[in-house]
Structure 1
Amino acid sequence: MSAFFQRKRTAKGFGVHSPFAFYFITKVINEKLPYNAYFDIENHLSNRNINPKEICETHYLSFRLVNYFHPKNILEIGSEKGINTLFLTASSKKTTCVGVESDPDKIAVAQKLLSHKKDQITIRNTIPSGTFDAIFFNLNYELPKNTNVTEILIERSNDRTFWMMTNINRNKATKSIWKKIKDDERARLTFDKKHLGIVILNSNYYKLNYLI
C-alpha cells in the first residue's frame, strides 16, 4: 500500500488497534471542532497588528495536544514570534512555557505579543536544562552541526513527556533527525503527519509508528 493511502486509512482510524492511538488520531490529531481560544488568539494578534492568517493547523494542533495531555511545563524550541506559544498556554493559566529563540528580532516581537502572560511564559536564547512534560521543537531552529537532537530531548523528558516536531521534511537534515527519533526504542509511539511528527515516550506502550 502506498504511503498516501496508508495515511488516508490511518487518519480515519482504519487498522489502528490500540484504543489510545485510535482515540488520539481521530479525536485529538484530526479533530476539526473550533475552540473559543482560537478566536481569542486571532483577536489578540489583530490587536497587535499581526495578521491572523499567520495561524495554521499546526498551531491548532499544538493547542489540542496541550488541552488533551495537560502538561504542567512546556519547552518550546524555535518559538519564533510567539504565535504558537499563545496556543500552548491558552488552555490553562497554570501551564508554564519556556520558549527558546535565537533571532533577536523575533524575540522582540514575541516579548510584546506575550507581555500579558509574563507569569506563564519565559523567552530565552539558549535551551535550558530541567525536565518538561511536553517539548515542541520547530526544526527551523538551527542547532550546532552534529548535535544529537534525540539525546537533547530525552535529557529533558520523563516517561510521560510527549514531543511535537515541526518541519520534519524540510530538508535532508530534518528528515534524518526525524528518522533517528522514529527508530529510537525510547520513542514508543510516533505519529507521522508528513510535515510534523508527534512522539509518545510512555514505556507502557508497544513500539509502533503511525503514518497519518
Structure 2
Amino acid sequence: MFAFFQRKRTAKGFGVHSPFAFYFITKVINEKLPYNAYFDIQNHLSNHNIHPKEISETHYLSFRLVNFFHPKHILEIGSGKGINTLFLTAPSHEITCTSVESSPDKIEVAQKLLSHRKDQTVIKNTLPTGIFDAIFYNLDYELPKNTNVTDTLIKHSHGRTFWMMTNIDRNKTTKTTWGKIKADERTRLTFDKKHLGIVILNSDYYKLNY
C-alpha cells in the first residue's frame, strides 16, 4: 500500500528532488495541453475510416516525448496499424521512423495510413540493424524466443537514447521484462506509469526509478 501511494506522489512530481525529473514529470509526462498535430491526426484517421477513439493517452505521450527530446531516428517495435507512428513522426519532417510489425493485416493498414509520409517511415517484419535516438516498444509484441530484451535495446541505442515501453503490466512476462529493465544499471532513469514505462540511458544521471 505504501508503494502505491509513493508512486501516486511521484507520478505527479511530488517528492522528486531532481530538477530534470521534476520538470520531465510535470511538463512532459503529465502535460495536458493539446497540440495542433493531435487534431490533424484525428482528421487523418477519420479520412481512413479509423475512429479517433482509437487514439489513447499513450499516443499523445509519444508525441510529447519526441517533441521534447527531438530524436531524428526512431525505432518502433510492435507498431500495429501505424497510429502511433503518426504521432512519432508528426513533430518534424526530419524524423525517420523504422517500424517493426509481423501482422500482414496491420502492415497493410499502416502502409495506407502512412502513405503521405513515405519519406519518413519504413515498415519491417524483423528487427533492423543500426543505432536509434529513441525506441518505442510494445511489450505485447513478441521478439524471437530467448531474446534478452534489455541487451537488444541497448544494442540499438547510444548514450542519449530514450525508450518508451507500453503494456508493461499486461502479464507476468511483460512485468518481469519491465522489472529487469528497471533493475539494469545501464537504464539510468526509469519512470513507471503503471501501464507504460520510460527509460533514459544518459549516464550523467544517478540510477533512480520513479
TM (normalized to structure 2)? 0.98
- SS of equivalent residue, structure 2 residue 136: strand
Q: Residues of 2 paired with 1:28 and 1:3: CA distance?
A: 23
- SS of equivalent residue, structure 2 residue 102: coil
Identity in percent:
81
Deviation by residue 1:93-142 (Cα, 9 ceiling, x = unmatched): 00100000000000000000000000000011011010000000001111
What count of residue pairs does the alignment treat as equivalent?
210
1:73-92 matches, cutoff 5 A: 73-92=73-92
Matched, 1:49 2:45: no
1:1-212 matches, cutoff 5 A: 2-210=2-210
Deviation of 1:13 (Å): 1.5
Q: Which range moves more in the overlay, 188-197 or 7-16?
A: 7-16
Q: Residues of 2 paired with 1:11 and 1:137: CA distance?
A: 21
Deviation by residue 1:150-198 (Cα, 9 ceiling, x = unmatched): 0110000000000000000111111111011000000000000000000
Deviation of 1:143 (Å): 1.4
Contact 2:77 2:138 in 1 (8 A): yes
Deviation of 1:14 (Å): 1.3
Q: Residues of 2 paired with 1:144 and 1:155: CA distance?
A: 15
TM (normalized to structure 1)? 0.97
Q: Residues of 2 paired with 1:61 and 1:29: CA distance?
A: 7
Contact 2:140 2:167 in 1 (8 A): yes
Q: Residues of 2 paired with 1:13 and 1:49: CA distance?
A: 39
Q: How well do the aligned residues superpose, as a CA RMSD in angstroms?
A: 0.8
Deviation by residue 1:47-77 (Cα, 9 ceiling, x = unmatched): 0000100000000000000000000100000
- Given residue 37 of structure 1, which amino acid in structure 2 is its aligned partner? A
The runs of 5 or more residues in structure 1 that have no matched partner are none
The runs of 5 or more residues in structure 2 that have no matched partner are none
Deviation of 1:4 (Å): 2.5
Q: Residues of 1 paired with 2:94 and 2:86: CA distance?
A: 13
Q: Residues of 2 paired with 1:168 and 1:12: CA distance?
A: 20
Q: Residues of 1 paired with 2:3 and 2:36: CA distance?
A: 35
- Given residue 55 of structure 1, which amino acid in structure 2 is its aligned partner? I
